[in-house]
Amino acid sequence: MKKLLIIALMLTGMTSFAQDDVEVKGNKVTMKETAPVWQGCEDSADKKACFNKMLSKHIKENIKYSKNEKGEYIRGKATVSMEVNEEGKVVVNSVESKSPVLKKEAQRLMESIPPMTPGKLGGKAKAIKYTIPLTF
């Protein structure tokens, strides 16, 4: 009877410490990574497509095209390296562009992204990195 009680307690302890999104098969451990979820995409069937759609919408609605001293729009490209941190906030790591004006606008645009549900790895919040090319 004591052995049965000990075995039951051990099994209960093992299941209570199991992590979500972690699978163990033999000596192979697989952890599932989930991407950040944009506000309003929580109930979407395809969260990745919804994320891309909302990001495009955010860029279209918030981008500001700068003009040079002649009154012409400044054209060019910028590449933004950013991450959605463990708290769901966007942190811009770097911006590459030949134009300092476009660099500044790309950083402002990405930092204005609203907070979202953070990405996860093995059921725990994790920063997820992105590289986004922008054409002005």
pLDDT digits (tens, 9 = 90+) for 40-83: 998 989 999 999 999 999 999 999 999 989 999 999 999 999 99
Q: Could you tell me which of 133, 136, 56, 73 has the C-alpha nearest to residue 102?
A: 136
Q: Is residue 4 part of a domain?
A: no
pTM higher than 0.85: no
Q: Is residue 115 part of a domain?
A: yes
Mean pLDDT of 85-106: 96
| Cα angle for residues 83, 87, 93 (degrees, 5° grid) | 25
| Domain hosting residue 47, numbered range | 32-135
CA 129 vs CA 76, 79, 80, 100: distances in Å: 23, 13, 11, 23
| Residue keyed to tokens 């969260």 | 47
Q: Give the model's pLDDT for residue 9.
A: 56
Whether 79 and 131 have beta carbons less than 8 Å apart is answered as yes
Q: Is the dihedral of CA 74, 75, 81, 83 positive or negative?
A: positive
pLDDT digits (tens, 9 = 90+) for 15-40: 444 556 667 777 787 778 889 999 99
Q: Is residue 82 part of a domain?
A: yes
Q: Is residue 21 part of a domain?
A: no
SS3 state of residue 101: helix
SS3 state of residue 7: helix
Task: Give the separation between CA 74 and CA 63, rounded to whole angstroms.
Answer: 13
Q: Is residue 56 part of a domain?
A: yes
Q: Is residue 97 part of a domain?
A: yes
Q: Is residue 13 part of a domain?
A: no
Q: Is residue 102 part of a domain?
A: yes
Query: What are the residues facing 23 on neighbouring strands?
Result: 30
| Cα angle for residues 104, 110, 115 (degrees, 5° grid) | 145
In total, how many domains does the chain have?
Answer: 1
